[in-house]
Amino acid sequence: MLRRCIFLLFLFVFAACDSGNSPDIDPPDDDRGYHALRQLSPFPVGAAVQAAQVQNPDFSDVFNYAFNSLTAEYQMKQNVIWTSRNTYNWAPADALVQYGQDHEMQVHGHALLWHSSTPLWLENFVGSDETFEALLLDYIFTTVQRYQGKVISWDVVNEAFNDGSGTLRETVFRNRLGPDYLARMFDYARQADPDVLLFYNDYNLESDATKRRAVLAMVDDFQARGIPIDGIGLQMHVSYNSPSLKDIKDTMQAFASRGLKIHLSELDIRANPGGDLTSLTELRALEQRARTFDIVDAFLDLPAANRFAITWWGLRDPDSWLIGFWGNPEWPLLFDADYAPKPAYFGFVEALEGAS
Ligand code: XIL
């Protein structure tokens, strides 16, 4: 509490000084004027990116300087890769995996099964449920083995639980394969690659206690039955003022207590959840900075073995999916439109400096 008060006091002094950097932190030796997260951090720090973005030299320069982990924003999803029963579109995924390798980045696979990225031909597949499952098994083997040794981890299933009730979402997977389908998909992924890390990924696990309990129950059940699962992806689409830091900490700790690796897998911090702002105010940018600090600080409280990575869902504010999703102006990421690091970036740096 005292630490937080001191930090908030610092924030307002910081605001009054109108400085972009923190007076507490040694200046970076790089002539950019800001530290690389990838150098400071004891765990990988990443961003979700698109194949075309990393071909842009301005984008690549900043992305590769700051980060050492990469997730495909959408080009490793089923509806992009699996264009028809016997055809695959690998080019964008291959390019991203290659980029990650060329720049010594960890590449996280996202996602083998997600109801929102199921190809239409599969959704409408006419054939038996057994054939449907055989197709999925084949897709998992083909995709996981293509990137074996290059992709360190996969989200095997994304967003399988309903908000509020914590019941299983009525997806084509649930409806055709029955309620135990998740266990079989994790088994198939493990059979495809004995070493790749297997994650379950979902949102609102911090704010929705019922949903969180349902996912924890699934983990407990998997572990009791010997179904492989290595980690949990907490998407962390949060706001500058909610959910509470306690809920965020308790959620990370609950999954870590099961021995899982924790991936803050799609972090973004809404600065304008009320939709009232037309530009990012200095105060709101500082509040976003404080929230970034708090989240990274909480992540650092986990045992090192449980810290998989923190991944931001995009690099620059104008690229954020949230703008289209909520239909409001939004500035939820670490860099502005000109590739300049925002106060939130320095909140991340400060949390890391505090840990070293
Ligand atoms: C979003 C991407 O950002 C968009 O570009 C795409 O059109 C739809 O998906 N939860 C997830 C991510 O697991 O895959 C979603 O990404 C955001 C919500």
316 within domain boundaries = yes
With a pLDDT cut of 90, the percent of the chain lying above it is: 90
DSSP state, residue 181: H
Find the CATH number of the domain harbouring 265. Answer: 3.20.20.80
127 within domain boundaries = yes
In the chain, the number of structural domains is 1
28 within domain boundaries = no
pLDDT tens digits, one per residue of 118-169: 999 999 999 999 999 999 999 999 999 999 999 999 999 999 999 999 999 9
Query: Is there a contact between 21 and 34 (Cβ–Cβ < 8 Å)?
Result: yes
Is any atom of ligand 1 closer than 6 Å to the C-beta of 317?
A: no
pLDDT tens digits, one per residue of 6-55: 444 444 444 333 334 444 556 676 679 999 999 999 999 999 999 999 99
20 within domain boundaries = no
Structure tokens at 344: 């939130």
Catalytic-residue membership of 159: yes
307 within domain boundaries = yes
Is any atom of ligand 1 closer than 6 Å to the C-beta of 158?
A: yes
Identify whether 228 is preceded by a cis peptide bond (ω within 30 of 0).
no
23 within domain boundaries = no
Start-end of H helices in the chain:
2-17, 37-40, 51-55, 57-66, 78-81, 91-102, 120-123, 129-146, 172-177, 181-192, 209-225, 245-256, 282-300, 321-326, 343-355
Catalytic-residue membership of 130: no
Q: Angle CA(114)–CA(118)–CA(123) in degrees, nearest 5? A: 130
Is any atom of ligand 1 closer than 6 Å to the C-beta of 74?
A: yes
Report the predicted TM-score, pTM, of the whole model to 2 decimal places.
Answer: 0.93
Host domain of residue 66: 2-10+33-355
Query: Which of 266, 315, 322, 326 should be mutated for ligand 1, with most atoms under 8 A from CB?
Result: 266
The closest-lying atom of ligand 1 relative to the alpha carbon of residue 110 is 14
17 within domain boundaries = no
- For the chain, give the mean pLDDT: 94
107 within domain boundaries = yes
Residue 200 has pLDDT above 60, yes or no: yes
pLDDT tens digits, one per residue of 305-349: 999 999 999 999 999 999 999 999 999 999 999 999 999 999 999
